[in-house]
């Protein structure tokens, strides 16, 4: 047995990345960033708001959190929907008490299913980020450009109309993309994305339709990942988020500003037994000097502005 | 896979129970050799498929997993390196050698510190499954040439890409001049490997101390990782009075170099470095000492004697 000759050929083996989306860059060698008002840390809270269709397909893959019991899966369909009915309001209340501004990454279909939810997010002064159409519509390279564009356009149009916001941010279901996704996002007037997990600062991605800013969103301290993939306790989640913040905060003294992202889910952190852990994390971060709480869009805009004047 | 029937045994080493082995004493009477092996890797955006293993769980491009790994080369490696510098550890880099082409800046930072490079294949998304022996030799040649060209070092060690192996792999590694393999986890001391030519040894690497196993498979917390590193060290350090041991900490900068993980790791290796009688070393140096102290020959003789039997200890029961 042997493999075809091509298996030992490496056409992209050259300096830098093996694709054209962005250049390699060392976080610790970049010109230091100072956030607005001299802040050291930009705190980006991103709440996932999701709809898992009862008939969601399992091919080519399911987004994390997908229904997993035999059809009809009453169990997880309703558990996820709890976040939209109850959990998110618990989270909104907490943000309101603390005067925080957050991004809410919302499946487009939520705008037509639950307009009251959209209204509450907008009235709370928060930013709406498009989170694809629904959790069954994952983006992947098997989709035609037209089909993928239609999903993106529909999600954005639903959310733009319902929120009255420009909705320039994007988070794919399951953070999954195809080869064309960044090009299509830029074509649909998306200016920043949260899918790529390779940095602690924003950076610019190239697309066929102009630049797209990649805004950092942590992967391994996401509340769902810690709870449902690592099966770790709430206290363990709190500890890791605090530890993450401490290191980024320490680095910001010598290396310039950092982004501390806090990805949470309405059906995870919005649970009664979890909400006070979220409060603990927020209290900890906000007790430090030099923390700028902003939406992901404001962080992206600030980054672009700094980039232009640097 | 091939039409050959599967074997029930690797056939690469003989049984040698722990009690009554020849005593190993590391240079300078050190009780324990501790080496750290950062896997500095490049995972491809759009790799070809291998019938035995698909590189990514999702169709290419799997941007979440790809970007997660890329974090190591943009951010994580610097935190890991700084922690190792502070504790006085050089790295033995388990290198996807294509990284020399992609990110020479990282290679230079390692080389400037006197770190060793050993080979972890070309890319972590290319496996040796289904290759024929000549194709696998080509990968070994590529690795030797690339590391020599970029660092001036001759490869001494090997960890197969993503731990993919064929039955002939150890023979052709040894034939090419590789001195130690990290692919076997059967001992706390280096051991001779049964190969057709040369004196290849298995170097204690570790699954259990490996951050990728700890974080991605066992899913432990960062602080618990710090704890298990310290406990593993305490025990091997104590046992080193009897006969010197090896402890390896294999790392992945995209995991250990995350902000929420680095401090627990840094504290654990500073704890290790704070003990007397610890040899903070590299894979290449341990392999050399294994030969120069006579351990290779003594272990080979002990294995031969054990094979000849009868044995009082470790008698096989099956």
Cα atoms in the 13 Å half-sphere on the side-chain side of A16:
7
Tens digits of pLDDT across chain B (318 residues) = 456 799 999 999 999 999 999 999 999 999 999 999 999 999 999 999 999 999 999 999 999 999 999 999 999 999 999 999 999 999 999 999 999 999 999 999 999 999 999 999 999 999 999 999 999 999 999 999 999 999 999 999 999 988 999 999 999 999 999 999 999 999 999 999 999 999 999 999 999 999 999 999 999 999 999 999 999 999 999 999 999 999 999 999 999 999 999 999 999 999 999 999 999 999 999 999 999 999 999 999 999 999 998 765 554 443
Query: Domain boundaries in chain A?
Result: 42-309
Residue with tokens 């510098």: B85
d(CA B124, CA B121): 7
| Chain B residue whose CA is closest to A244 | B260
Closest CA relative to residue A159, chosen from A167, A148, A171: A167
Query: Domain boundaries in chain B?
Result: 31-308
Give yes or no for A25 touching B (CB within 8 A): yes
Which residues in B266-293 are b (16+ Cβ under 10 Å) and which e? Answer: bebbeebeeeeebbbbbbbbbbbbbeeb
Give the closest-approach CA distance of A15 to chain B in angstroms. Answer: 4
| Chain B residue whose CA is closest to A140 | B59
A-proximal residues of B, 192-251, CB under 8 Å? 215, 219, 221-223
Contact B102 A14 (CB under 8 A): yes
Tens digits of pLDDT across chain A (310 residues) = 899 999 999 999 999 999 999 999 999 999 999 999 999 999 999 999 999 999 999 999 999 999 999 999 999 999 999 999 999 999 999 999 999 999 999 999 999 999 999 999 999 999 999 999 999 999 999 999 999 999 999 999 999 999 999 999 999 999 999 999 999 999 999 999 999 999 999 999 999 999 999 999 999 999 999 999 999 999 999 999 999 999 999 999 999 999 999 999 999 999 999 999 999 999 999 999 999 999 999 999 999 998 755 4
Give yes or no for A23 touching B (CB within 8 A): no
| Chain A residue whose CA is closest to B105 | A26
CB-closest option in A15, A16, A176 to B58: A176
Strand bridging mode B180-181 / B157-158:
parallel
Sign, CA torsion B302/B303/B304/B307: positive
Give yes or no for B260 touching A (CB within 8 A): yes
Strand bridging mode B116-119 / B278-281:
unpaired
- Number of DSSP helices (H) and strands (E) in chain A, helices first: 10, 9
Chain B environment of A198 (Cβ under 8 Å): 67-68, 70-71, 74-75
Q: How far is CA A226 from CA A173, A232, A239, A301, in A?
A: 18, 6, 11, 30
Give the closest-approach CA distance of B41 to chain A in angstroms. Answer: 13
Q: How far is CA A107 from CA A113, A120, B31, B75, B292, in A?
A: 10, 15, 58, 31, 65
Contact B259 A10 (CB under 8 A): no
Give yes or no for A74 touching B (CB within 8 A): no
d(CA B263, CA A246): 10
Give yes or no for A27 touching B (CB within 8 A): yes
Instruction: Please give the structure tokens belonging to residue B246.
Output: 């090896």
Give the closest-approach CA distance of A303 to chain B in angstroms. Answer: 18
Report CA Rg, chain A: 20
Instruction: Please give the structure tokens belonging to residue B213.
Output: 């196993």
| Chain B residue whose CA is closest to A19 | B45
Cα angle B183, B56, A141; round to 5: 165
d(CA B145, CA B154): 9
Please tell us whether the domain made up of B31-308 is placed in CATH 3.20.20.370: yes
CATH number given to A42-309: 3.20.20.370
């Amino acid at each position: 047995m042997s493999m075809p000759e091509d298996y030992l050929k490496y056409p992209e083996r050259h300096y830098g990345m093996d694709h054209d989306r962005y250049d390699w860059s060392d976080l610790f060698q970049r010109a230091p960033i100072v956030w607005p008002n001299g802040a050291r840390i930009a705190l980006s809270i991103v709440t996932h708001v999701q709809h898992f269709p009862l008939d969601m397909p399992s091919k080519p893959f399911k987004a994390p959190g997908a229904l997993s019991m035999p059809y009809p899966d009453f169990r997880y369909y309703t558990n996820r929907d709890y976040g939209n009915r109850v959990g998110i309001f618990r989270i909104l209340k907490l943000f309101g008490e603390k005067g925080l501004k957050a991004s809410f990454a919302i499946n487009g279909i939520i705008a037509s299913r639950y307009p009251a939810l959209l209204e509450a997010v907008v009235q709370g002064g928060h930013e709406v980020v498009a989170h694809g159409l629904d959790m069954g519509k994952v983006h992947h390279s098997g989709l035609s450009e037209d089909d993928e564009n239609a999903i993106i356009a529909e999600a954005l149009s639903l959310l733009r109309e319902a929120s009255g916001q420009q909705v320039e941010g994007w988070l794919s279901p399951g953070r999954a993309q195809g080869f064309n996704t960044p090009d299509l996002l830029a074509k649909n007037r998306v200016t920043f994305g949260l899918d790529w997990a390779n940095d602690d600062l924003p950076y610019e991605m190239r697309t066929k339709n102009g630049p797209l800013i990649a805004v950092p969103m942590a992967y391994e301290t996401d509340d769902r990942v810690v709870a449902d993939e690592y099966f770790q306790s709430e206290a363990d989640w709190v500890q890791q988020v605090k530890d993450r913040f401490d290191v980024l905060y320490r680095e910001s003294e010598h290396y310039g500003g950092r982004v501390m992202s806090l990805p949470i889910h309405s059906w995870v952190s919005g649970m009664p037994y979890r909400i006070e852990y979220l409060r603990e994390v927020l209290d900890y971060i906000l007790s430090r000097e030099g923390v700028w709480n902003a939406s992901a869009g404001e962080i992206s805009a600030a980054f672009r502005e700094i980039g232009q004047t640097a | 896979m091939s039409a050959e029937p599967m074997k029930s045994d690797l056939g690469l080493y003989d049984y040698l129970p722990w009690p009554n082995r020849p005593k190993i004493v590391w240079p300078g009477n050190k009780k324990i050799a501790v080496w750290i092996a950062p896997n500095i890797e490049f995972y491809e955006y759009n790799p070809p498929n291998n019938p035995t293993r698909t590189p990514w769980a999702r169709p290419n491009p799997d941007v979440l997993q790809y970007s997660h790994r890329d974090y190591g080369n943009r951010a994580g490696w610097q935190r890991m390196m700084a922690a190792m510098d502070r504790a006085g550890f050089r790295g033995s880099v388990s290198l996807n050698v294509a990284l020399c082409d992609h990110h020479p800046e990282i290679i230079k930072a390692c080389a400037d510190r006197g770190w060793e490079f050993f080979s972890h294949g070309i890319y972590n998304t290319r496996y040796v499954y289904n290759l024929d022996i000549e194709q696998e030799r080509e990968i070994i040649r590529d690795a030797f040439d690339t590391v020599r060209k970029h660092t001036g070092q001759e490869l001494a060690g090997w960890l197969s890409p993503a731990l993919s192996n064929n039955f002939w792999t150890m023979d052709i590694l040894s034939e090419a001049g590789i001195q130690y393999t990290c692919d076997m986890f059967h001992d706390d001391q280096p051991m001779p490997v049964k190969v057709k030519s040369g004196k290849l040894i298995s170097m204690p690497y570790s699954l259990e101390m490996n951050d990728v196993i700890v974080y991605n498979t066992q899913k432990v917390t960062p602080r618990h990782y710090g704890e298990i590193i310290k406990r593993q060290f305490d025990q091997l350090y104590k046992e080193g009075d009897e006969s010197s041991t090896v402890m390896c900490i294999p790392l992945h900068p995209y995991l250990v170099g995350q902000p929420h993980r680095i401090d627990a790791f840094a504290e654990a290796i500073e704890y290790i470095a704070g003990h007397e009688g610890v040899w903070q070393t590299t894979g290449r140096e341990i392999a050399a000492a294994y030969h120069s102290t006579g351990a290779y020959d003594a272990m080979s003789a002990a294995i031969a004697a054990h094979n000849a039997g009868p044995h009082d200890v470790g008698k096989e029961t099956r």
